[in-house]
């Protein structure tokens, strides 16, 4: 008799930031398709509400909720996590996805811009981990997934603040993971490091250069000669959110078509 496999994250309750589009939306959809309830946040309230509504239509039930969130604001983190736990009946997965890019070498970047990037890309991850942990501790086994970047390891000097912020996310993830092991709680923390993925972040390249030239430019350092798709990252989020990865913590999952190796 053929066996029916249970959904990979059945019973999980996931909080996903930056979910109005791109990797956050793809991750929320993936988690919901595999059995999780999902609470989506973004500074774009209309956009994130539309994604949540789409997920509910696809699943034929209310499995997704949404809220407006400025991830750099601590009080908003506390309030929104409480709302999410109330809506979903707890919290067992945190996906820190929200982030911004920034252009400028060290001599050109303004301090105000540096602080803006660090607030959104680093402070938000710390605040999310800090204030989600009490909920995750009550829902063991639980998981934190922090979206970093290949830029944490392969440096372009024109992206000084961005490179630094993504390296900080990698280090912070390991610190949180080790703190959880020290407390002997079953809460894992890992980081994901994508190369260029076909999302809105790369759209300006395609608008300016056209499909062929933009693809050539963006994939010149990728041995597989293609951009990643959002689901390439969403499947990694699914794995790290699931109990399949119970022995994985403080890991850096690089998804880059081989770019780090060259």
Catalytic residue annotation? 162
Question: Cα separations (Å) of 251 from 42, 144, 153, 256?
Answer: 26, 11, 14, 15
Q: Which two tokens stand for residue 41?
A: 């946040």
Query: Rounded to the nearest 5°, which phi and psi values hold at 127?
Result: -65, -40
Q: What is the DSSP string of 103-134?
A: -B-TTT--HHHHHHHHIIIIIHHHHHHHHHHH
Query: Rounded to the nearest 5°, which phi and psi values hold at 122?
Result: -120, -55
Q: Which of 243, 251, 250 is nearest to 92 (CA)?
A: 243
Q: Which of 41, 238, 43 is nearest to 145 (CA)?
A: 238
Contacts of 243 (CB under 8 A, 6+ apart): 141
Sheet architecture: strand order including 37-42: 64-68, 37-42, 13-16, 93-96, 142-147, 187-194, 252-255
Q: What is the DSSP string of 154-206?
A: S--TTBHHHHHHHHHHHHHHHHHHHHHHHTT--EEEEEEEE--BSSGGGHHHH
């Amino acid at each position: 008799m053929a066996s029916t496999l249970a959904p990979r994250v059945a019973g999980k309750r996931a909080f996903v930031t930056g979910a109005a589009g791109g990797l956050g939306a793809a991750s929320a959809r993936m988690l919901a398709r595999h059995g999780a309830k999902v609470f989506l946040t973004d500074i774009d309230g209309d956009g994130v509400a539309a994604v949540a509504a789409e997920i509910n239509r696809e699943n034929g039930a209310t499995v997704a909720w949404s809220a407006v969130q400025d991830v750099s604001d601590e009080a908003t983190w506390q309030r929104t996590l409480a709302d999410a736990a109330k809506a979903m009946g707890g919290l067992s997965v945190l996906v820190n996805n929200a982030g911004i890019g920034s252009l400028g070498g060290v001599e050109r970047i303004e301090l105000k811009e540096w602080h803006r990037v660090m607030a959104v890309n680093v402070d938000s991850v710390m605040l999310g981990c800090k204030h989600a942990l009490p909920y995750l501790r009550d829902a063991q086994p639980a998981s934190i997934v922090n979206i970093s970047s290949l830029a944490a390891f392969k440096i372009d000097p024109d992206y000084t603040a961005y490179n630094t912020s993504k390296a900080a996310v990698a280090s912070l993830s390991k610190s949180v993971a080790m703190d959880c092991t020290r407390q002997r709680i079953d809460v894992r923390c890992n980081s994901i490091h994508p190369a260029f993925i076909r999302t809105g972040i790369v759209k300006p390249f395609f608008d300016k250069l056209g499909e062929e030239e933009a693809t050539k430019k963006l994939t010149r350092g990728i041995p597989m000669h293609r951009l990643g798709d959002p689901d390439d990252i969403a499947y990694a989020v699914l794995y790290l959110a699931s109990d399949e990865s119970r022995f994985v913590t403080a890991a850096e999952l690089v998804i880059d078509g081989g770019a780090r190796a060259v």
